[in-house]
Structure 1
Amino acid sequence: MDETDKDRISILGQIKEKLIGRKQDWAREGRLLTGAAANPAQRLPPGQREVTDWPVLDLGIQPEVPRSAWRLAIDGAVENPVTLDWDALMALPQQDSVLDMHCVTQWSRFDNHWQGVSIRTIVDLVRPKPTVTHVLFESYDDYTTNLRLEQFAAEDCFLVHTWEGKPIPRQHGGPLRVLVPRYYLWKSAKWVRRISFAEADRQGFWETRGYNNNADPWLEERYS
């Protein structure tokens, strides 16, 4: 590694720490909170604004994972742990869906057209043990997050690879990301590489930095 590469890594690290610090400040300050709650029948959650673009949000790192090298391990307390390559993923039943998404930074985007694999297909494939209560995620940028099993296994949750008829771009988590539309978007891990079914909760990256462990937009669960 030459000095130019070392300088680049150092600069990226500084950018990442600055972004993390700013969002932790938001949690401490309760930024964007309205104090309101609403029924999900109200399509736009409290404090959100509708957008027509797709804002890019990350930790300053957007890993490039070619489909030829991509792998997804699905393991933990399951009867049939698997590791999928891209061909194996695409051999599973594929579904189209139209779902909204809501980001904790206050934007929501309606009527997104997705294609991917239903989480119910994944659950049927690996067969979680009765003792499973939570699901843990790891990404190619080392990001982590967590969900309760019932949140993850809902009928509107998917592993998605296509958005608006095109492969999900790298900056939005391609080649594959999790989509859990009823919760703030940080629960929908980008660049996912491992899904573990667990018998206990383990909070992820933002959950240990002041963000709510449940993350329901209609209850405005932005922060812990």
Structure 2
Amino acid sequence: MSSIKNRVPAGQKVTESFPVLHHGEVPYYINMGNWDLKIFGLVDEEYTFTYKEFMQLPRTQFGNDIHCVTTWSKLDNVWEGIAISDLLKFFHIKETAKFVMLHAEHGWSTNLPIEDFLKETSFLAIKHNGELLSPDHGYPVRMVVPHLYFWKSAKWLRGIEFLEKDKPGFWEKNGYHMYGDPWKEQRYDWD
């Protein structure tokens, strides 16, 4: 294990807690039969997972450090979730797709280059440190992209859209950096 100094980007402080930050209301699901995850855009055929189908996908354990744009870092996280490679067994991405827009509840969204979405370290989380995600942390499913600031790890995921051209999501439209590399301190678009 490398030293903490090598694991924490400049401007970040390590926390043992898991701070809760979001815009708008936290969604609470009463009937999971109403939840689905849509795959659309530049794919050969759109696909929609029901909650039951999604929860039957093979699960993998992931370990990582996460870094929030608000300057906290949480080290040694253990997640359980769906590897992107397992998700890709259900649809084919067109060659023209270069970006991904993650869509979440309440109109929230964030953008990613397709290479970041497809990284082996990126996944769809359902558990954190042995427990199902809480509503505050994205229940039932959140994207986790640990090499970027944590706003790119969309909570309450409901759709994955494949795009030819990049476009800003919610926070990017409101001044956050289009990419969000914590090692380059890409916090805001004026950085």
Comparing both structures, which one devotes a greater share of its residues to strand? 2
Within the alignment, does 1:204 sit opposite 2:169 as a pair? yes
Structure 1 runs (4+) greater than 3 angstroms displaced: none
* Aligned mate of 1:59, from 11, 17, 23: 23
1:32-71 correspondence runs (5 A): 42-66=6-30, 67-71=32-36
For 2:179, the equivalent position in structure 1 comes to: 214
Query: What is the TM-score of this pair, normalised by structure 1?
Result: 0.79
Structure 1 letter corresponding to 2:6: Q
For normalisation by structure 2, the TM-score amounts to: 0.92
1:110 matched to 2:75: yes
Indicate which of 136, 160, 173 corresponds to 2:101: 136
Letter of the 2:26 counterpart? Q
Aligned pairs for 1:1-224 within 5 A: 42-66=6-30, 67-224=32-189
Q: How many residues align?
A: 184
List runs of 5+ in structure 1 lacking aligned partners. Answer: 1-40
Corresponding letter in the other structure for 1:88: E
Q: Which has the larger radius of gyration?
A: 1
Deviations 1:36-80 (A, max 9, x none): xxxxx9210110010001001011410112433211001111123
More helix by share: 1
**Counterpart of 2:8 in structure 1: which amino acid?**
L
Tell me if the contact between 1:62 and 1:141 (Cα under 8 Å) persists in the aligned partners: no
Deviation per CA, 1:71-124: give whole Å up to 9, x if none: 100111112321111211122221011111110000000111111101122234
Equivalent AA in structure 2 for residue 214 of structure 1:
Y
Q: Identify the range of structure 1 (205-214 vs 61-70) with the bigger mean alpha-carbon deviation.
A: 61-70
Q: Distance in 1 between matches of 2:160 and 2:177?
A: 20
Aligned-residue Cα RMSD (Å) equals 1.3
